[in-house]
Chains A and B, each alone.
Chain A
Amino acid sequence: MSDNTPVIELRNVDKSFGPIDVLHEISLKVGAGEVLCLLGDNGAGKSTLIKTLAGVHAPTRGEILVDGEPVSFSGPRDAQERGIATVHQFGGTYPLMSIGRNFFMGVEPTKGFGPFKIFDRAKANKIAVEEVQKMGITRITDGDRLVGGLSGGERQSLAIARAVYFGARVLILDEPTAALGVKQAAHVLRIVNEAKKRGLAVIFITHQVMHAMAVGDHFAVLIRGAIAADFRKGEKSREEIADLMAGGESMADLEASIEGYMETHDGHPPKVGQEASA
Chain B
Amino acid sequence: MSTHSVKGPSGISLGGLIRRPETGSLIGLIVVYVFFAALGGKVFMGAPGWSSWLNIAAEVGIIALPVGLLMISGEFDISVGSVVPASSMTTAMLSGHFELPALIGIMGGLSVGLLIGFLNGLIVTRTTIPSLIATIGTMFAVMGLTLGFAVLIKGSTSVSYVPDATTKALLGTFINGMFNVSIFWWLGFVAIFYYVLHISPLGSWIFALGGDKESARNAGIPTAKVTIGLFMASGFAAACVGVGQVMTYQTAQVAGGQAFIFNSIMCVVIGGVLLTGGAGSIIGIVLGTMTFAVVNQGIFFAALDPNIGSIIIGALLLAAVLSNDTFRTLALNYSPKKK
Contacts and interface: CB of A to CB of B under 8 A. Distances in A.
Contacts of B218: 54, 56, 76, 86, 88, 92
B205 interface: yes
11 contacts: A94-B207, A95-B332, A96-B207, A101-B207, A106-B220, A108-B201, A118-B200, A119-B204, A129-B4, A141-B336, A145-B334
A110 B195 CA distance: 13
A130 interface: yes
A75 B9 CA distance: 36
A-B CB proximity, top 9 nearest: A94-B211, A108-B201, A77-B220, A106-B219, A92-B215, A96-B279, A148-B332, A142-B336, A126-B6
A105 interface: yes
B8 A97 contact: no
A105 B219 contact: yes
A211 B254 CA distance: 65
Interface residues of B, number: 38
Interface in B1-15: 1-2, 4-10
Contacts of A121: 9
Contact of A118 (B199, B214, B332): B199
A75 to B, nearest CB: 8
A142 B6 CA distance: 6
B6 A97 contact: no
B199 A125 contact: no
Contact of A92 (B212, B328, B332, B339): B212
A144 interface: yes
A56 to B, nearest CB: 7
Contact of A106 (B221, B328, B332, B336): B221
Interface string B268-282: 000000100011000
Interface string A110-136: 100000011101100110011001000
B216 interface: yes
A191 interface: no
Contacts of B127: none
A42 B5 CA distance: 43
A107 B332 CA distance: 24
A118 B216 CA distance: 20
B13 to A, nearest CB: 13
Contacts of B10: 144
A149 interface: yes
Contact of A125 (B6, B214, B331): B6
B309 interface: no
A92 B203 CA distance: 17
Contact of B332 (A80, A86, A149): A149
A96 B278 contact: yes
B6 A110 contact: no
Interface in B216-241: 216-221
A209 interface: no
A149 B335 contact: yes
B332 A142 contact: no
